Amino acid sequence: DLFAESSVEIWREAFERLVQGLTASVDAPVKTLALMDGVARQTLLDAARGPEVSWQNMGEQTLPAMFSAQVQRSPLAIALYAGVQELSYTELDARSNKLARHLIALGAGPDQVVAVLLHRTVELMVTLLAVMKSGAAYLPLDPEYPESRLQFMLIDSGAQILVSAEASRVQGLAAPVEVHLDAGQVIQTLDKLSGTPVLQSELSTALRSEQLVYVIYTSGSTGQPKGVGVTHAGLAHQLRWMQTEYPLDETCVMLARTSFAFDASVWELFAPLMAGARLVLADKETLLDMDALSELMVERAVTDLQLVPSLFPIFKTALSRARP
């Protein structure tokens, strides 16, 4: 009763084919022996392939271009909620343009890595977009990580610029160029800069889809963490696929709860901003309190979030308490 008869038949045929291969060539490595015939193998391969997508028909393949297109479509719509703060698409665009120009003046550009050490605030999304618009790739540094791990990633990545704020600063963490977003001088500098779209001519070299958009480090569970770089084309492809499978639109509200140092955060953070939806950032305290998180979801009318299956029963109970 444990297995379907059809499954058992497939295993029987595979075992017979394996034995036949071994008896025909006793010295053959197991990895060279076929477990199915050519027709069955091709059928399996065909079933595993998804639909083909032509890159030539995808148009915009950089995140700044995709976001800019959405700003044009919904300039006054709310793009971001973080605590009591909110920004429209136009406001988020303008603030990130200002910071991008400041980063460019400090040397940021294509093939450069800019480290971002910020809590889950409005400034986080402004900075991530600004780094992309400067042409550089962002390196997420979660302030909750141990200092030694942050220090390793900062040095190993070769990041020359570190963007942070007073609340997120980590003692002993430093880079050749540091931008403290809440410092008076930085605030004055940003106020004087233009919030109009950043032109390609302002970059050190033109931004192309094959250039890096972010570098995220692995957990290091099997040794030292390893930095993995993802290109604009790769991220654009992922977001477009996710939009096909899990579509968002202007009626959607996404709650981002994953640390931005994990690649699972990429869909949460950027997919809403490419679809005219609203993004909600929850702070650490709210994320650790399921009741508070549920209340935030009700308050912001959240429609989408990402959870591991084990959390769903707990979350469902908390959400039922939060609903009037």
Q: What ranges do the domains of the chain cover? A: 5-48, 61-248+256-276
Q: State the pTM of this model.
A: 0.84
**pLDDT (0 to 100) of residue 169:** 86
Q: pLDDT tens digits, residue range 19-75?
A: 998 898 888 888 888 888 888 888 888 887 776 666 555 555 899 999 999 999 999
Per the CB < 8 A criterion, the answer to whether 164 and 181 are in contact is: yes
Q: Is the pLDDT of residue 222 over 90?
A: no
* CATH number of the structural domain 61-248+256-276: 3.40.50.12780
pLDDT above 70 as % of the chain:
96
Angle at which helices 265-275 and 232-245 pack, to 10 degrees?
Answer: 80
